[in-house]
Amino acid sequence: MSKFYLYYSLICTISFTCAIFIFTFKYNRTDGGLWAAFASVNSGICFYLYNIYIGNKLQNHFSLKYLNYLSVISFISCLVCIAFGIWYTFAIIYWKIPLSEYDRSLIFPCVFSFLSGKWGFHLHTATKKFMKEYTSFNYTPIIQNI
């Protein structure tokens, strides 16, 4: 299952990076590009964590304290992104903003803020999983006397 998440996060990171350039330069929508950047960062960190987890190098790269900090930051990121997604949804419904006009539509930032929240939550659950693996792994470093 970890390889699935590795490839899934890689594909999402690449597609979110492409969405940054499309929204920012083609549609001139920096708000959609900003939320695509947040989603790309969260999925990129997930990709990196799964990559070193599959290579059994998690203890070499991260401490338990760092994983805990990453878990807290990703949970806060999840809450903020979902809150903005709810705000965009409210704005679309309340102001009756049309969905088909690209220059005025808030559907792109709404969707990508929810996707950023989803990847923030996935990063939170992945770090919690890796923290559990980290504590169950009996890591005793080998010290050589020279």
pLDDT tens for 79-107 read: 999 999 999 999 999 998 887 777 778 99
- Residue 141, pLDDT above cutoff 60: no
- Amino acid 125 reads T
Q: Provide the mean pLDDT of the chain.
A: 91
- Residue 139, pLDDT above cutoff 60: no
Determine the Cα–Cα distance for residues 87 and 84; give it in Å rounded to an integer: 5
**85 is written with which tokens?**
């997604």
**Residues 6+ positions from 38 with CB-CB distance below 8 Å:** 77, 81, 112, 113, 116
* Between 98 and 51, residue with greater pLDDT: 51
Give the residue-averaged pLDDT of 43-55: 95
pLDDT of residue 56: 87
Query: Which pTM was predicted?
Result: 0.88
Alpha helices in 99-138 (DSSP H): 107-136
- Residue 140, pLDDT above cutoff 80: no
